[in-house]
Each structure stands twice: as C-alpha cells, then as structure tokens.
Amino acid sequence: MNVVLGLYQWRARREHGWRLWTPEVRDPVFADGPSDYPPLGRLWLGMWHDFARWLWPPRETGALDVTACARVGSAIAFGITVWLIGAFAGRWFGPTAGWAAALCYVLMPRVSGHAHLANIETCMNLAFLAPILYVGQKWGATNPADGQPLAPRRQWLVAVVVGVLIGAAFLTKIQAVLLPIPIAAWTLIRWRGRGLAWLSVAGAVTVLVFFAGWPWLQIDPVAHLGEYLGRTVDRATLNCWYFGRKYADIDVPWHYPLVLFVGPVPAVMHIRAASGRSRRLQRHRRAQVLAAGEKSPAGPLPGPEDKRVDAAQSQSAIARTWLLGVSFVFVLTFFALPGIPVYDGVRLFLVAFPLWAMAAGAGAQHVKDWLAFRKSERTANTVLVIVLALQSYGILRFHPCELSYYSLPPSGLAGAELMGLERTYWQDSVTRSFLGEVVANVPEGATLYLAPQLHPSQAMYLLLQSPVLVDHGVQVRAYDDRFRDEIRYVVVFRRRADQWASLEPSPPGGTLLAEVQRVRVQLAALYELPPVETGEVETGESGRSGVRNAGENANSP
C-alpha cells in the first residue's frame, strides 16, 4: 500500500511539477487523499522504486509496483541514518563513539530488518533523528570562555532549519508529534527566554512546512487536518499478542514498549548505553583526556586553555546526552501510557532505536577510554571490535527474518516464544527460498490459502509480487475456516495476534511440507490439509479477530 500510494504521488509530482500546488491540478489529484499517512515517506519510497526498477529491471508480473524495488528507498534512508548517528556521535562523544554508534545501529536486528522492507518506519527514524541531532549540535554547544551555553551563529536561520526538519518529520509519519515536547523542554531549560523565541520561529516554520508539503491538507485545511488526526485516534482496533494473551491495541499493558525494547536489542548494547551514563567512567574519560598530554613524552602539558576547551566539550556532551535521553524516555513513556495503541512489536517506537545507538556509542567511548587507561589502546580497540563482531550474530542467524529476533533477556526467540511473545508481526518470514520450496511441493495451478490475512488485498499482493508463484500458475487466497472443505494447501506465517485457532500450533492432520525456522521456532509453514469429512467444518469465528482496514495496513512492507 505504501509503495502504490508513494508511486502515485511521485508520478503526480513528476507529471505536474509545481502545478500540483495549484487548485486546478491539486484538487482532482488529491481529492481522495490519501489521508492516513503524510506524503514524504511514501514519496521517498516511490522515487527510489522507480529508480531501482529502471536500474535493475525485475521480473515483471503485471503488477503496478514491485515492492522489492521500493525497499531500496528504505535501505538508502537507513544508510543516511547510520551516517548521521556515526558523524554526530563522533563529534559529540569522541571518535570511538562515532564508529561504534554507527555499527551498533547497523547491528540492531530489528532495525536492520525494517531497513530491508518498504516501510515508512526506516524513513521515520531518519526524519525523527535529524532534528534532534541538529538541535543538539546548534543549541547544545558550550562556550569555553565562560562555560555557559553558546548561541549559534545566525541563530534565526538555525531556528528556521529546526522548523524545516521538524516539519519534514511531520510530513513523514504521525510519530513526529513526539518531537516538539522533548525538544522544547530541553531548549527552554537550557536557553530560557531566548529558547522560547527560537522555538516560536521553529514552530511557525514547522506548521508552514507541514501544510505546504501536503497538498491534500491544503484543499480543506481544517477538515482534512481533523480527518488526519481523527484517523489516528478513531480507527479499527488491532490485535497484539503479549505474554500468551491477545490484547486490543489500546488495552496492552503499560510495560509492553519497555519489554519489547529490552528484548529485541542485543544485550551488550544495553550494557554499553548504560555505561555511557556511568559517572565513574565519565570521570575516567575526563582524567584520561587531561592526562594524555602529561603521559606522552612528546605531548605538551595541558594548559589552562586546553582544560577550558575540554571542560566545554564535556559540558556540551552532557547537555546533548540529556537531549537524547529526554527524547528517548519520552517516546517509550508515551507508548506506555494507558489508551495509547501499541502493536506490531517495536514498529511504533522504532524511532527510539537510533537514540539508543547514540547512547551505546557514547558508552563504547567510555569503555574504550577506561580500557585504554588500564591496559592499552590496542587491547581496548581489540575488545571493542570483538564485542561488536559478536553482535552480528543476530543478523547473520536471522536474516531475512530479523523482525523475529530477540536478545538475551528473554533467552532469544525460543525463550520469547515460551514466554508468549509474538514471533513475527508481518509476512517477512514468507521468504523467497520458502516460496521456492512451496512451488516444489504443490502442483501447478494449485490454490494456496494464506493465513492470517491482515489486509483485504494481502493474498493478491503476495501473488503479484512473487514471480515464482506466478510462473507456477498458482492462485493465492485468504484462509478462512468457513471454506475449509475447499482448502488443501495453507501458507501460515506465525503472527499469533490474528491467527486462526484451527492453525495453531499446527492444523490437525495437516502434513508439513515446508517451513521457515529460526532457532527451532517456526516462523512460516506450508501445510497440506486432509480432506474434510462432511459436517466436520466449523463456521464463523475460530479464535481469529478479523482483518485490518486498508488504511492501517499502509505499512505493508
């Protein structure tokens, strides 16, 4: 859905250019929305879709879009985010923090998993992080002369750029509403009245950019803004599987974001991020920096000026750490509030992950300095490289099913499964190699039934996006217990929240023909079902809760 709508908007912009902002062109093109998501993330996917489709022509099946081509857009957004994380962590916390933070982000399996899919989340991570980094860089500096906050040059231009960046985030996804409060709180505490003036300018520019960048809003600003925000709070209820129970998205226990954040992030990164907050290690870092000149035979003794610069850098780093920390805590706290819907694992609060990678980078810097001080530079670097290399296990072991990765706290995916956590939230476990096994196990022209179907056109999409299925002449339909007597082959992906009870843990009498497993936990499977005796079929609800509406499933990756 994201790709199709992104293509529509991208091609409309190419076709009409600036005229798209004139009522004569704008109104008919955007009369029907889309109103569920703002345009920027989809536009990005649409643009890269066309580029990748031109550069690497795929096997065509007659579909308007090729999802795999749009995935290149996510990969590019991911790469830019990695660079920003590394560059700013390096500037703020030290060179080791730079490369370590970048690598930590790359090696977070859930993040990497999303980067492989054509979703808005990876774009949103970039859009969410950019204004925080820019604010930290420009408004987080300290004057070495007096140790006070140092105002940026061209301060009003900086405020305008902050507004543009936050506006771009608002144009990407609704999570942008989580940006203004932590940024404003941090800025006001640091800059007081001056910060208020900057924030006023930034706020006005944000509103301007948001409306200017979304033609559909301009058609009827008040009504359409109400419709957009209304869709966010008044929409179909989605299901969430958590500790062995199915919850409606607004009834999920408050600790869900905390557990789902701690679980899927490699444990070493948590330790490293926590160590970045250690005062003892921070003192070590300062002592080590100051001692560096004294210890080196060639190096000069640090003069008062050096000490002032170092103190200013240290204060800036602390201020910027506060900005990252406040933003991070605000995101997770928001999703822990009663009545705030959460579902799909980490997807909604994925924006917290880049902030945590920055913290992990800062921690790596402190650990490295401490080790270098106690042992040697070489030992410190060797230890860090080994630890980071070990963290690649998650991606190497789980690819392309990184959305199912769990770390040590829940004892990996197997432990998470035993605890009743969700195994996969989307259809990513229906991999290409699995589809190859499917066609090897079903006769030509067979009909496959997909379970669960989360979106009315999901089965059709699976077929159109899979040349291997089209070549085999198979049909794909949604599984439904009511048609059990017609069903022989069923493709199941293990999303418990919306699963048919008749297929969990496996269909009675069914023969397993192919499956996707990670650490001996089944993530997707092909079953051949036995013929149904007359009168055996149960109809109606079978422990399944229904299908998402078309708008919500806009995340189809």
Partner 1 sequence: MSRNSRTRLPLLIAVLATAAVIGTIDPAGA
Only segment of 12-20, 85-93, 346-354, 494-502 that touches partner 1 (CB under 8 A) = 85-93
CA distance 345 to 478: 23
User: Does residue 551 belong to the site contacting partner 1 (CB under 8 A)?
Assistant: no
Residue 315 or residue 458: which is nearer to partner 1 going by CB? Answer: 458
In the complex, the smallest distance separating the C-beta of residue 466 from partner 1, rounded to whole angstroms, is 4
> Does the footprint of partner 1 cover residue 478 (CB under 8 A)?
no
Nearest Cα neighbor of 450 from 390, 401, 495 is 495
Phi-psi region of 244 (alpha: psi -120 to 50; beta: other; left: phi over 0): left
Tell me the per-residue interface mask from 406 to 435 with partner 1, x by CB under 8 A, - otherwise.
--------------------xxx-xxx-xx
Q: Does 83 bind partner 1 (CB under 8 A)?
A: yes
Residue type, 441: N
Check the CA dihedral 502-506-512-518 and report its sign.
positive
* Whole-angstrom distance, CA of residue 220 vs CA of residue 489: 49
- Closest by CA to 71, choosing from 114, 109, 108, is 114
- The residue within the footprint of partner 1, chosen from 80, 201, 262, 290 (CB under 8 A), is 80
Q: Which stretch binds partner 1 (CB under 8 A): 81-89, 146-154, 229-237, 269-277?
A: 81-89
Residues contacting 343, CB < 8 A, separation 6+? 238, 239, 240, 249, 252, 425, 497
Contact call for residue 71 and partner 1 (CB under 8 A): yes
Nearer of residues 296 and 539 to partner 1, judged by Cβ: 296
- Token duo for residue 310: 């170092």
Q: Which of 206, 275, 407, 458 binds partner 1 (CB under 8 A)?
A: 458
The residues, ordered by sequence, that sit 6+ positions from 421 with a Cβ below 8 Å of its Cβ are 241, 242, 243, 259, 260, 263, 406, 410
Smallest separation, CB 121 to partner 1 (Å): 14
Binding residue for partner 1, selected from 76, 260, 490, 523, defined by CB under 8 A: 76
Residue 415 and residue 409: Cα distance in Å, rounded? 9
Rounded CA-CA distance 485/415 in Å is 36
Q: Where does this chain touch partner 1 (CB under 8 A) — which range of 29-37, 70-78, 237-245, 321-329?
A: 70-78
Do residues 148 and 142 touch, judged by C-beta distance below 8 A?
Answer: yes
In whole angstroms, give the CA distance from residue 297 to residue 440.
70
Q: Select from 86-94, 125-133, 233-241, 502-510 the region that touches partner 1 (CB under 8 A).
A: 86-94
Tell me whether residue 74 or residue 206 sits nearer to partner 1 (CB atom): 74
- Per rule CB under 8 A, is residue 316 in the interface with partner 1? no
Only one of the segments 109-117, 144-152, 218-226, 305-313 lies at the binding site for partner 1 (rule: CB under 8 A); that segment is 109-117
| Of residues 172 and 458, the one with the C-beta less far from partner 1 | 458
Q: Which residues pair with 490 in a beta bridge?
A: 449, 527
Token pair recorded at residue 65:
């879009």
Closer CB to partner 1, residue 89 or residue 129? 89
* 508 φ, ψ (degrees, to nearest 5): -60, 125
Interface with partner 1 in residues 195-224 (CB under 8 A): none
**Can you count the helices (H) and strands (E) in the chain?**
22, 7
**518 bridge partner residues:** 521
Task: Among 281, 469, 474, 554, indicate the residue that binds partner 1 (CB under 8 A).
Answer: 469
Q: How many CB atoms lie within 10 A of CB 260?
A: 28
Residue 466, CB-side half-sphere exposure with 13 Å CA sphere: 22
CB of 469 to partner 1, least distance (A): 7
Q: Nearer Cβ to partner 1, position 82 or 162?
A: 82
Structure tokens at 544: 């399944």
Stated as kind and residue range, the H or E segment containing 363 is helix 352-374
Of 83 and 243, CB closest to partner 1: 83
Contact string (CB under 8 A) for partner 1, positions 378-407, x = contact: ---------------------xx-------
Backbone angles phi, psi at 156, to 5 degrees: -75, -35
Among 142, 282, 466, 499, binds partner 1 (CB under 8 A): 466
Work out whether 123 is an interface residue with partner 1 (CB under 8 A).
no
Residue 333 CB, shortest distance to partner 1, in Å, is: 29
Give ∠ CA 439-441-447 in degrees, rounded to 5: 65
Shortest separation between residue 538's beta carbon and partner 1, angstroms: 28
Q: At what angle do helices 39-55 and 67-93 cross, to 10 degrees?
A: 110
User: What is the spatial distance between Cα 45 and Cα 57, in angstroms, rounded to a whole number?
Assistant: 16
Using rule CB under 8 A, residue 51 touches partner 1: no
Could you tell me the smallest distance in angstroms from the CB atom of residue 413 to partner 1?
18
Which range binds partner 1 by CB under 8 A, 66-74, 279-287, 331-339, 539-547? 66-74
- Is residue 112 involved in binding partner 1 (CB under 8 A)? yes
Q: Mark residues 7-46: x for contact with partner 1 by CB under 8 A, - for none.
A: ----------------------------------------
Element (H, E) at 440: helix 432-441
**Which helix H or strand E contains 493, and what residues bound it?**
strand 489-493
Candidates 464, 478, 503, 529; binder of partner 1 (CB under 8 A) is 464
Q: Does 523 bind partner 1 (CB under 8 A)?
A: no
To partner 1, the closest distance from the beta carbon of 67 in angstroms equals 6
Helix (H, G, I), strand (E, B) or coil at 100: helix
> Which residues bind to partner 1, rule: CB under 8 A?
58, 67-68, 71-72, 74-76, 78-80, 82-83, 85-87, 89-91, 95, 98-99, 101-103, 106, 112, 115-116, 399-400, 426-428, 430-432, 434-435, 458, 461-466, 469, 556-557
